[in-house]
Amino acid sequence: MLQKNIKGMMRTKYKVLGFCLISIVFIGCDRATKDFAKIHLRDKEPLSWFHNTVRLEYAENTGAFLSFGEDLPKSMSFWLFSALPLLFLSGFFIYALKKSGTMNFLEMLAFTLIFSGGIGNIIDRILFDRHVTDFMNVGIQGLRTGIFNFADVYVTLGVLLLVLKNIRIASK
């Protein structure tokens, strides 16, 4: 029994370490791509591939999804888009670490993606006076996404993984 508890604790410890290391890697990749966009895309014409299906163009966003709330006063914007999400992500981080012993790899990856993406955009908001760097856009003809970054992709993928997991559980 004791040996089983020790193995469980070691497995949990490795999951926590993996969560932290993978988060650092994802946040670092997000930061590197945003810096790349600032250097190579700012004040330049958009780059386009596959008949304009994939487009790289520089944008800064002080709002949320699709620039929602960008006209808010600076102090309200700080609380709504920086402080509150940081508080939420802190709780999310603690929850993920506490539940790590019972999570499988895909669940842990989903939580890591959501956490990393959220922190990546909060870093921008805090370091660059609310301005989040966005630079990717995909679509076909007039049907296009908003301009986004890798942090947004991480959050979206993490949420999709959790939704798919819950759909799979519900269908059993």
pLDDT one digit per residue (tens) for the chain, 172 residues: 555 565 555 677 888 888 999 999 999 999 999 999 999 999 999 999 999 999 999 999 887 766 676 777 788 888 888 889 999 999 999 998 888 888 888 999 999 999 999 999 999 999 998 889 999 999 998 899 989 999 999 999 999 999 998 887 777 6
Question: How confident is the model at residue 132, as a pLDDT?
Answer: 94
Q: Which helix H or strand E contains 110, and what residues bound it?
A: helix 105-127
Classify residue 64 by burial, with Cβ atoms within 10 Å: 0-12, 13-18, 19+.
Answer: middle
Tally of structural domains, the chain: 1
Give the integer Cα–Cα distance in Å for 53 and 158. 24
Question: How confident is the model at residue 130, as a pLDDT?
Answer: 87
Active-site residue, from 35, 43, 129, 134: 134
Note down the domain range covering 38: 2-170
Q: Which helix H or strand E contains 140, and what residues bound it?
A: strand 132-140
* pTM assigned to the model: 0.85
Give the integer Cα–Cα distance in Å for 132 and 77. 13
Active-site residue, from 30, 124, 129, 152: 152
Question: How confident is the model at residue 21, as a pLDDT?
Answer: 95
71 is catalytic: no
Sheet holding 47-49, edge to edge: 47-49, 54-61, 132-140, 143-144
Give the integer Cα–Cα distance in Å for 26 and 154. 8
Question: How confident is the model at residue 142, as a pLDDT?
Answer: 85
